[in-house]
Amino acid sequence: MSANSKYPLRTWILSLACLLVAALAAVPSIPAQEAGVDDIKYAEDYERLQAIAAVKNPTQRAQQIAAIYKERPDMDSRLTAYADGLFTENLDALLKQGNSIAVRGLSERALGARPKFGEAYLYLGVALKNEGKIEEAMMAFAKCHLIQNRFQKRAKTQLDIAYRARNKGSLIGQEKILAAAQKELN
């Protein structure tokens, strides 16, 4: 009888081991499926950005990029950086053409979808400054300066120039604009 009692125990242990192996084999398939979805999204977004880059008109390109910002807030960070570069190139081209109205509209549209897009604040500030809206321009420059981006120093320089022009060469009180900009960003 002791020999018979060993077989059910072995069967039970073997069944438990098989169940454990099957459960462990199923676990890696979940991240693989998620990675597949992420790869598909990346490929779709990349193809869309490549099609946009082929568009010749800088206004149309920037409009399409602003639309992507709104539609795909979860876009891969590498593609977002690529889109940011395309967007700022287009705004630069529009500024060189003297089209401040388009730059302002496109910047505002992009900021509506991505309120922490520092580069767009610089271009918005330049457009506002060109339109003679110095107070609004200084606020945009301050926001660009406060957000981590590649144009922070340029925005601070523009803020200093605009503030000095309004305040007889003095920077006294500029911290109030920076504090107000920080409050709006939070």
Structure confidence at residue 78 (pLDDT): 96
Is residue 134 predicted with pLDDT exceeding 50?
A: yes
Non-local CB neighbours of 76 within 8 Å, separated by 6+ positions: 38, 41, 42, 45
Cα-flanking dihedrals φ and ψ of residue 58, to 5°? -65, -30
Q: Is residue 106 one of the residues assigned to a domain?
A: no
Residues 122, 77 share a domain: no
Question: What's the confidence (pLDDT) of residue 38?
Answer: 86
Give me the number of domains the chain comprises.
Answer: 2
Question: Average of pLDDT values for 16-36?
Answer: 60
Q: What pTM did the predictor assign?
A: 0.79
Q: Judge whether 101 lies within some domain.
A: no
Average pLDDT over every residue of 75-103: 97
Instruction: Decide if 110 is inside a domain.
Output: no
Tokens of 99: 């089209």
The Cα–Cα gap between 114 and 44 comes to 20
In a domain? residue 107: no
Long-range CB pairs of 35-44 (<8 Å, 24+ gap) are: 38/76, 41/74, 41/75, 41/76, 42/76, 42/79
Whether residue 179 sits in one domain with residue 124: yes
The parent domain of residue 24 ranges over 1-94
Query: Is the domain of 135 the same as that of 64?
Result: no
Domain identity same for 29 and 86:
yes
Long-range Cβ contacts of 162-167 (<8 Å, 24+ apart)? 162/129, 162/134, 162/137, 162/138, 163/138, 165/134, 166/134, 166/135, 166/138
In this prediction, residue 163 has a pLDDT band, given cuts at 50, 70 and 90, of very high
Residue 35 token pair: 């990675």
Domain for residue 99, yes or no? no
At 40-65, the pLDDT tens digits run 999 999 999 999 999 999 999 999 99
Are 82 and 31 in the same domain?
yes
Question: In angstroms, how far apart are the furthest CA atoms of the chain?
Answer: 105
**Within-domain flag for 100:** no
- 89 and 120 co-located in one domain: no
Contact 73, 113 (CB under 8 A): yes
Both 44 and 133 in one domain: the answer is: no
- Whether 90 and 120 map to the same domain: the answer is no
Quick one: pLDDT at residue 8?
Answer: 72
pLDDT score, position 1? 47
| Residue 48 covered by a domain | yes
For residue 168, pLDDT over 70 is answered with yes
pLDDT-based confidence at residue 36 (cuts at 50, 70, 90):
confident
